[in-house]
Amino acid sequence: MSDLVCVKDFEDRAFKILPRNALDYYRSGAGRQETLENNRTAFSKLKIRPRCLRNVSKRDVSTTVFGEKVSIPVGISPTAMQRMAHPEGECANARAAEAMGTIFTLSTIATSSIEEVAEAAPGAIKWFQLYIFNDREVTRQLVRRAENAGYKALVLTVDTPFFGLRLADMRNKFKLPTHLKLANFEGTVASVANKKSETTGSGLNDLGNLFDASLSWDDIAWLKTITRLPIVLKGILTAEDAMLAADLGVAAVLVSNHGARQVDGTPASIEALPEIVNAAGHRLEVFLDGGITDGTDIFKALALGAKMVFVGRPALWGLACGGADGVTKILGILKTEFEYALGISGCSTVADIRSNMVVHESFYSKL
């Protein structure tokens, strides 16, 4: 991997080595994929206003989340079925987060179980991504297992009453390879993704039918009654929902459009971030995922009010190219790029970043 020096290098290599079924699942978005493209291009419309002649001889890129120090303001988002990318899957990804001293988030629909990941990376800060199922006992058991295994937070995905229409998966009639299972489940649920759907062709849509589409804000209050862990709501894109989340006392929101995989035409995560920070950032922590591929993206997100960012696909590309070492290198690249962006922009620490250091390109339109 010595010739891979940026996220795009890893992405290009992963595109060559991943099987088409897995590659299209990981890289695709919903519908015409306009939001997928916009997740990245929206960052290019933001411009950094660097400050000069500041003492940046010593730099510290660490931050604190829920009272716990992390070495970089970059964690790993939940992504499903990682053993399609590498035999060690989620376990390798968690070990990379452990090595870097940052947060790993395990997907409910992982190919490594809650307990396997906990054993593989006992020192990692681990969060568990959760769906609320029609069968509430399934949800209760997942929460209990995550607590018992030492996970530090629950990340409830709230933008998925069911899975969006991803045309690539429909064309491919996506199925999880038969040698893999959804490791957090038993019986028919464990193998539901191994079969194509009779309606959409993609096996993931039948899995999504197990989620409770009647979910409401009352269910957030219910979830709080069955766990002692802080709750992060993932999938918030509006100020209105951010304020409702704060009213219910959740610990944080993760501004996210689900990697542009739910409904096409939503804003890029970075576009939605400012209104959410302005509405509720003083009442809860605000994180962001979607479109982060470079250290300058991290700087821009933090300037606009994110406490921390999370990456999904970049970690998958690292996993595909080199297992835990590949993900560790991806995180190291992002750390280096962010440290350079931080220092050259006139900041020594994350706390030095100011909101007026990043503006929309229209700020300069008078030129």
Domain membership flag for residue 302: yes
Q: Judge whether 86 counts as a catalytic residue.
A: no
Domain membership flag for residue 304: yes
Q: What is the DSSP string of 151-212?
A: --EEEEE-S-SS----HHHHHHT----TT---TT--HHHHTGGGS--SSSS-HHHHHHTTB-
Domain membership flag for residue 358: no
Give residue 367's pLDDT band: very low, low, confident or very high (50, 70, 90).
low
Task: Identify the CA nearest to 179 among candidates 114, 106, 313, 89.
Answer: 89
Domain membership flag for residue 140: yes
- Element containing residue 255 per DSSP (H, E): strand 252-255
Q: Supply the CATH number for residue 72's domain.
A: 3.20.20.70
Domain membership flag for residue 58: no
Instruction: Return the half-sphere exposure (C-beta side, CA atoms, 13 A cut-off) of residue 56.
Output: 20
Highest mean pLDDT, choosing among 4-18, 171-185, 199-213: 4-18
pLDDT confidence of residue 200: 66
Domain membership flag for residue 232: yes
Give residue 208's pLDDT band: very low, low, confident or very high (50, 70, 90).
confident
pLDDT confidence of residue 128: 98
Residue 68 and residue 127: Cα distance in Å, rounded? Answer: 13
pLDDT confidence of residue 117: 98
Looking at the structure of the chain, the number of domains it has is 1
Residue 104 has pLDDT above 90, yes or no: yes
Residue 199 has pLDDT above 70, yes or no: no
Q: What is the mean pLDDT of the chain?
A: 95
| Alpha helices, H only, the chain | 7-17, 20-27, 34-44, 89-100, 114-120, 136-148, 167-172, 187-190, 203-208, 217-225, 239-247, 269-280, 295-303, 313-344
Domain that holds residue 306: 7-46+63-335
Residue 198 has pLDDT above 70, yes or no: no
Q: What percent of the chain has pLDDT over 70?
A: 97
Domain membership flag for residue 205: yes
pLDDT confidence of residue 206: 72
Q: What is the CA radius of gyration of the chain?
A: 20
177: left (phi over 0), alpha (psi -120 to 50) or beta: beta
The catalytic residue among 179, 258, 282, 360 is 258
pLDDT tens digits, 1-23: 899 999 999 999 999 999 999 99
Confirm if 269 and 289 have CB atoms less than 8 A apart.
yes
pLDDT confidence of residue 209: 79
Full-model pTM: 0.96
Task: Identify the CA nearest to 293 among candidates 97, 1, 6, 80.
Answer: 6
pLDDT tens digits, 255-293: 999 999 999 999 999 999 999 999 999 999 999 999 999
Domain membership flag for residue 57: no
Residue 350 has pLDDT above 70, yes or no: yes
Give the three-class secondary structure for 233: strand
